[in-house]
């Protein structure tokens, strides 16, 4: 296994680390290296860019959603045949969980013994850039801050001023620089960047990113710095091997994957597969029915609000989904999937679109954030993922709200902040849908319970069919 790895961190959000990290991945891959991309934190969109840039599924590293041993296992599995790992950070270098500051880019870099390159937005900065870099270096002297990448530099003279100040006062080398407008802008909307899967011109954009990064950063030096990473610490988990050993017979599970629904952690899906799931992709936009053999279904997050007309028009899929649920097929949905399962979604223009009608609620989009943050929640009642009182860890980020249609609405989760209790989602026989995104590797028992529910349904379904045929 290659131990070459490097973290691309930022002083804060918006400094250009996604563009630089993705461009670096694309440039190294174009040079013939097997590049493994990673994203720190609960992000679905950036990994999509990494995946297209490298030709390999990007992975998330998060010590709130999964244990440190799981992070080490994910990293080791993904880099087993890679030449180099490029790890994109989240927010600012030291920004982490509210509770303890853990899970930050710096924390993951320390866990992986990886050197860090700090991206600094040079806009309107002179010698003060040195003070900023010095602060980041001194905040955690144990972190290996290997260099600085300057972004949005104004001119050659500006570059020399910044470079001299940073290197003279901090001892940290400037290993690359990009002049203002050297990189193409990545298109964005209310939840951040537009997913790569929606963009027709994405390959051309990635080529521009690669060329821009290669022009401003010495790729050979980046590879050399990545080679200075320390040995990976012991303690990697063995969750995948244990799951595979205990999996038993495989069970077909339909997974919604198209332009509207594409928010999945790759290792979450891989863990379900290790437990015995045969994952069958389907499209709520384009398919007229679920895969006939499916014994369970997962509808993840995404941007259903962008495709409401097409989703509403695909009535045959909605009918088939309702039929399967009525038969008792286990159905798990999160965020965008929850929205799709409601009676209706009202968009920002006030137009209302009929959806699946499986969750007895209406959904409405709004312009301000409705939910954001990590969640440690408890099940309100027994369901397909666990028992009442069991805890899960997840994350939510959404701009829509839910209005239940009945007093008997059954929430899926509850959690407490101070003296206040909060509730989320909906659960009923065979259904669990909520705004909370789960990583099944960090919620192993919930994953196992879902697969077991699918197997029970498949067994009962086959028994019913045999009796009917008899």
Q: Do 52 and 202 form a contact (C-beta atoms < 8 A)?
A: yes
Record the tokens describing residue 52, joined without a space: 């297209």
Q: Closest Cα partner for 66 from 332, 267, 300?
A: 267
Instruction: In whole angstroms, give the CA distance from residue 162 to residue 380.
Output: 56
Q: Helix (H, G, I), strand (E, B), or coil: what is residue 103?
A: coil
Record the tokens describing residue 100, joined without a space: 């303890």
Q: Which own/partner pairs from 375-379 qualify as long-range (CB within 8 Å, at least 24 positions apart)? A: 375/413, 375/415, 375/424, 375/436, 376/415, 377/413, 377/414, 377/415, 377/424, 377/436, 378/413, 378/414, 378/415, 379/412, 379/413, 379/427
SS3 track for 194-249: CCHHHCCCHHHHHHHHHHHHHHHECHHHHHHHHCCCCCCCCCCCCHHHHHHHHCCC
Write the burial class of residue 195 (CB in 10 Å: 0-12 exposed, 13-18 middle, 19+ buried).
buried
Q: Do 262 and 197 form a contact (C-beta atoms < 8 A)?
A: yes
Catalytic annotation present for 335:
yes
Helix axes 202-216, 17-30, angle to 10 degrees: 90
Record the tokens describing residue 42, joined without a space: 């609960």
Kindly report the backbone phi and psi dihedral angles of residue 210, in degrees, each rounded to the nearest multiple of 5, phi listed first: -60, -45
Catalytic residue among 335, 363, 380, 454: 335
Please report, for residues 97, 288, 335, 358, 372, the alpha-carbon distance to residue 285 in angstroms, rounded to integers and kept in the order given: 36, 9, 17, 17, 27
Instruction: In whole angstroms, give the CA distance from residue 426 to residue 404.
Output: 9
**Catalytic positions, written as ranges:** 335
């Amino acid at each position: 296994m290659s131990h070459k790895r490097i973290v691309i961190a930022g002083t804060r959000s918006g400094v250009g680390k996604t563009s630089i990290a993705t461009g670096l991945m694309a440039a190294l891959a174009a040079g013939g290296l097997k590049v493994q991309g990673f994203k720190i934190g609960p992000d679905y969109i950036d990994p999509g860019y990494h995946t297209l840039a490298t030709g390999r599924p990007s992975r998330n590293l998060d010590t709130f959603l999964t244990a440190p041993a799981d992070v080490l296992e994910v990293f080791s599995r993904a880099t087993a045949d890679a030449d180099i790992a490029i790890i994109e950070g989240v927010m600012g270098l030291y920004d982490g969980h509210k509770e303890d500051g853990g899970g930050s880019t710096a924390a993951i870099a320390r866990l992986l013994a990886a050197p860090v390159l700090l991206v600094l937005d040079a806009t309107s900065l002179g010698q003060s850039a040195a003070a900023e870099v010095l602060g980041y270096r001194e905040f955690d002297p144990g972190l290996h801050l290997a260099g600085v990448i300057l972004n949005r530099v104004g001119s050659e003279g500006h570059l020399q001023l910044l470079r001299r100040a940073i290197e003279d006062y901090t001892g940290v080398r400037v290993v690359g620089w990009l002049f203002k407008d050297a990189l193409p802008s990545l298109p964005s909307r209310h939840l951040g960047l537009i997913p790569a899967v929606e963009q027709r011109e994405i390959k051309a954009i990635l080529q521009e990113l690669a060329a821009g990064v290669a022009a401003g950063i010495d790729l050979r030096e980046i590879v050399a710095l990545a080679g200075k990473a320390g040995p990976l610490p012991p303690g990697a988990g063995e969750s995948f091997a244990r799951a595979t050993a205990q999996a038993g017979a495989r069970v077909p599970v339909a997974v919604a994957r198209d332009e509207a629904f594409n928010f999945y952690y790759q290792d979450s899906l891989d863990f379900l597969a290790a437990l015995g799931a045969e994952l069958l992709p389907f499209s709520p936009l384009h398919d007229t029915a679920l895969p006939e053999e499916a014994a369970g279904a997962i509808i993840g997050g995404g941007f259903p609000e962008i495709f409401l007309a097409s989703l509403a028009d695909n009535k045959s899929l909605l009918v088939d989904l309702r039929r399967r649920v009525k038969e008792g097929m286990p159905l798990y949905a999160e965020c965008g999937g929850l929205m799709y399962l409601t009676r209706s979604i009202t968009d920002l223009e006030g137009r209302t679109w009929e959806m699946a009608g499986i969750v007895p609620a209406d959904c409405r989009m709004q312009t301000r954030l409705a939910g954001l943050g990590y969640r440690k929640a408890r099940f309100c009642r027994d369901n397909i993922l666990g028992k009442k009182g069991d805890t899960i860890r997840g994350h939510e980020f959404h701009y829509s709200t839910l209005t239940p249609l009945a007093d008997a609405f059954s929430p899926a989760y509850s959690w407490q902040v101070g003296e206040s209790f909060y509730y989320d989602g909906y659960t009923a026989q065979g259904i669990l849908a909520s705004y909370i995104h789960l990583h099944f590797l960090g919620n192993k028992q919930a994953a196992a319970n879902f697969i077991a529910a699918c197997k029970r349904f498949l067994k009962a379904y086959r028994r019913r069919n045999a009796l009917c045929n008899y």
